[in-house]
Amino acid sequence: MSTIRFKAIESLINRGYEPVGPAIEKISDYYGKHVFGEQAIQEYLSREAYEKVKAAIVHGVQIERDIADQVASSMKAWAMNLGATHFTHWFQPLNGATAEKHDAFFEPLSDGRAIESFSGSNLIQQEPDASSFPSGGIRNTFEARGYTAWDPSSPAFIIGGTLCIPTIFVSYTGEALDFKTPLLKALHALDNAAVAVCQYFDKNVTKVTATLGWEQEYFLIDEALYHARPDLSLTGRTLFGHSPAKGQQLEDHYFGSIPERVNAYMRDFEMESLKLGIPIRTRHNEVAPNQFECAPIFEEANLAVDHNQLLMDVMSKVARRHRFRVLFHEKPFAGINGSGKHNNWSMSTNTGKNLLSPGKTPKNNLQFLTFFINTIKALHTHADLMRAAIASAGNDHRLGANEAPPAIISAFIGSQLTAVLDELERKVKPGGKMTPDEKTDLKLNIGKIPQILLDNTDRNRTSPFAFTGNKFEFRAVGSSANCAQAMIVINTIVAQQLREFKSEVDQLMGKKKLDKDEAIFQVLKRYITESKAIRFEGNGYGDEWVKEAKKRGLNNFAKTPEALDVFVRKDALKLFEENEVLTHREMEARYEIQLEMYTKKIQIESRVMGDLAANHIVPTALKYQSELINNVKGLKEIFSAAEFKKAAGAQLALISEISERVNIILASVNDMIEARKAANKLSDARKQADAYCYKVQPFFETIRYNVDKLELLVDDEIWCLPKYREMLFIN
């Protein structure tokens, strides 16, 4: 075995780890302990400041300077009590990570002493040097400044002695350079539009919040093996590796118990997360070996997005303590499942009602149907945007592959709700007035929805957007993605749809003098008819669906560059501008950034692949080949010509096969390098992404295929990379 592979496996096998003992503290004892949340705020803030901060959180009211000073000083007191020495603005730039720049509270005085200081202006605004974050050309170099601004709706928290303040990140000229800014605007647009529609049903509704419950999938791999795989450590996925004899076909991992070492890790990161107020609740094995999932209780979407970003960070840090690496890549291993991040989404009112949950009365259910049907209509109109929202180099491996929802967007609602919509469509007469009997009949049926849903066991795992009883589950989101991207799109399209709905219903009530219920029925009926193409109850993984979707006129953007184009299509620009979520300039900048990110990812993969193939794999194969050649020479010496032919046949074939594969690999690597050079010369970001997608990436398959074949031919003793069976089945 090659030294590096040998050492990695040896260190893994000889590694002891602390068995998990019983938990000492109750979760409720430490939950939220490191968050400047409700409890800390009440304890540390004056009543007046508390009220003003609440108003800022609920209604977006601006916080005045003196209040900010008060908040800052109590935050500092609270944080110092917990041992914090530094503070940072914490934000989510468009490179997909989170960013922070720590400053000490400490301030030297002229007499040589020092004090701890943290003012309202420190809290409200900071100017990190923004030039190293992607801006898509929004910032010219001479105005390289961007600034971060406090988001009071997401509470501050402490990590590793630093007080972290969630902020937005914008350019000096006010354009969004992050995920949070447009997310907050999209949530605001949804709030306004949904409250207006709720007024038809309940005058007490003054606020609607989008809710998000994500489910995070991930792989774990031992640190030593990770380091012995340059592809994993540089690209987050394995570029080579033959499938092991046993993969996930027995599905025994899903039902198996969680390995002890993994369990210890889970408990550790969960405890850290819970202290940060992330309401993490479930954990389990996934289908693929070494794949796991965790999920929290759902929260208001902005907070849930922050919590997911924070969780990924915590998980990565804690993994190191356990000598693991956590892989968030969408497809770390070929041939077994990839990882996603289901986004469960709904809307809830200040009156405590989930708008996607049917209620006990027909009126409540008409409200449910209104939001339910409008969501489907929004999805139908803007399906391409939902596809664009989940586009990334990593997710391209997953979408359309056998275990993941396809790149075609559709909605699954189950047979019972399908029947309800069919009935609505059938019974509401176009344009005309319904008799009181007809109306009563319809309402009676609508009243039965909750009973139907109670025994709704319909589950369709293959749909990218499935209704699951009281929420929609957007399943096509990638495991490494920032959920904000999906949340920006879904909340904006539903906001837009609800505004259109409101204006259509108002028109029918005004011009045609229809009563409210009938006006609502009329519009919903039309939406049901118009959006039928987006509803699909069958097997989303089948080839049949690809053909069927094409007939229905649904797009199937298989690759990221073409999926991203939708962001700068006229309809998309108009939509985001009208809802005041993103301007044309911001949209174009984001489009460019995403194309660049895509190109860079494929470029890095291509470089790593070339290096590994030419400098690691091929030399190993040649070493083995020369051993074979020596052996064959020996056979020739000791055997007669006739006997030699018999004795050396298989080895001669091996020698030729190795030559053949090595030749293909080296030629492909050379051609790939040429393709890369040509791609690098292109100055247009879209053309470059295309070149990487269609000219560079296709070589990956040929190179990998031949390398993986060599893995099966070459002596296991000298193979240079840890194998799939070693990475996936030892822990």
Query: Which residues are at the interface with Mg ion (CB under 5 A)?
Result: 342
Segment interacting with ligand ADP, rule: CB under 6 A, options 372-380, 467-475, 556-564, 682-690: 467-475
Cβ atoms 346, 354 nearer than 8 A: yes
Burial class for 142, CB neighbours closer than 10 Å (0-12, 13-18, 19+): exposed
Identity of the residue, 41 or 295, whose beta carbon is nearer to ligand ADP in the bound complex: 295
Q: Other C-beta atoms within 10 Å of 157: how many? A: 25
Phi, psi (deg, nearest 5) at residue 374: -65, -35
Q: Which of 91, 345, 536, 699 binds ligand ADP (CB under 6 A)?
A: 345
- CA nearest to 409, candidates 532, 524, 528, 557: 557
Residues in a beta bridge with 86: 104, 162
Segment interacting with ligand ADP, rule: CB under 6 A, options 210-218, 410-418, 426-434, 621-629: 210-218
**Residue 13 binds what, of ligand ADP, Mg ion, none (CB under 5 to 8 Å, by partner type)?**
none
**Residue 297 binds what, of Mg ion, ligand ADP, none (CB under 5 to 8 Å, by partner type)?**
ligand ADP
Cβ atoms 470, 416 nearer than 8 A: no
Identity of the residue, 11 or 470, whose beta carbon is nearer to ligand ADP in the bound complex: 470
Contact between 471 and ligand ADP by CB under 6 A: the answer reads: yes
Q: Could you tell me which residues come within 8 angstroms of residue 300 by beta carbon, excluding any fewer than 6 positions away?
A: 153, 209, 210, 211, 212
How far CA 113 is from CA of 85, 161, 620, 663, in Å, comes to 16, 22, 63, 71
**Residue 213 binds what, of ligand ADP, Mg ion, none (CB under 5 to 8 Å, by partner type)?**
ligand ADP
Identity of the residue, 92 or 479, whose beta carbon is nearer to Mg ion in the bound complex: 479
Amino acid (one-letter) located at 469: G
Identity of the residue, 471 or 601, whose beta carbon is nearer to ligand ADP in the bound complex: 471
Contact between 212 and ligand ADP by CB under 6 A: the answer reads: yes
Taking residues 558 to 597 in sequence order and writing x for each that binds ligand ADP by CB under 6 A, - otherwise, the string is: ----------------------------------------
Beta carbon of residue 378, minimum distance to Mg ion (angstroms, whole number): 21
Which DSSP symbol is given to 574?
Answer: H
Q: Which of 135, 211, 216, 620 binds ligand ADP (CB under 6 A)?
A: 211
Beta carbon of residue 215, minimum distance to ligand ADP (angstroms, whole number): 6
Beta carbon of residue 274, minimum distance to ligand ADP (angstroms, whole number): 15
Contact between 354 and ligand ADP by CB under 6 A: the answer reads: yes
Beta carbon of residue 154, minimum distance to ligand ADP (angstroms, whole number): 17
**Residue 668 binds what, of ligand ADP, Mg ion, none (CB under 5 to 8 Å, by partner type)?**
none
Identity of the residue, 321 or 461, whose beta carbon is nearer to ligand ADP in the bound complex: 461
Tokens of 95: 């490179």
Identity of the residue, 300 or 588, whose beta carbon is nearer to ligand ADP in the bound complex: 300
Identity of the residue, 350 or 651, whose beta carbon is nearer to ligand ADP in the bound complex: 350
Beta carbon of residue 471, minimum distance to ligand ADP (angstroms, whole number): 4
Contact between 297 and ligand ADP by CB under 6 A: the answer reads: yes
Beta carbon of residue 307, minimum distance to Mg ion (angstroms, whole number): 17
E-strand spans in 364-493? 411-412, 465-467, 472-474
∠ CA 48-52-58 to the nearest 5 degrees? 145
Residue by residue, DSSP assigns 194-226 as: HHHHHTTT-TT---EEEEEEEEEEEEEEEHHHH
Contact between 286 and ligand ADP by CB under 6 A: the answer reads: no
Cβ atoms 7, 224 nearer than 8 A: yes
Phi, psi (deg, nearest 5) at residue 91: -145, 175
Tell me the H-state helices in 428-482: 436-447, 449-454
Contact between 346 and ligand ADP by CB under 6 A: the answer reads: yes
**Residue 212 binds what, of ligand ADP, Mg ion, none (CB under 5 to 8 Å, by partner type)?**
ligand ADP
Identity of the residue, 279 or 362, whose beta carbon is nearer to ligand ADP in the bound complex: 279
Phi, psi (deg, nearest 5) at residue 381: -65, -40
CA–CA distance, 698 with 173 (Å, rounded to integer): 41
∠ CA 638-643-644 to the nearest 5 degrees? 60
Beta carbon of residue 353, minimum distance to ligand ADP (angstroms, whole number): 10
**What is the binding site for ligand ADP (CB under 6 A)?**
211-213, 215, 295-298, 344-346, 354, 468, 470-471
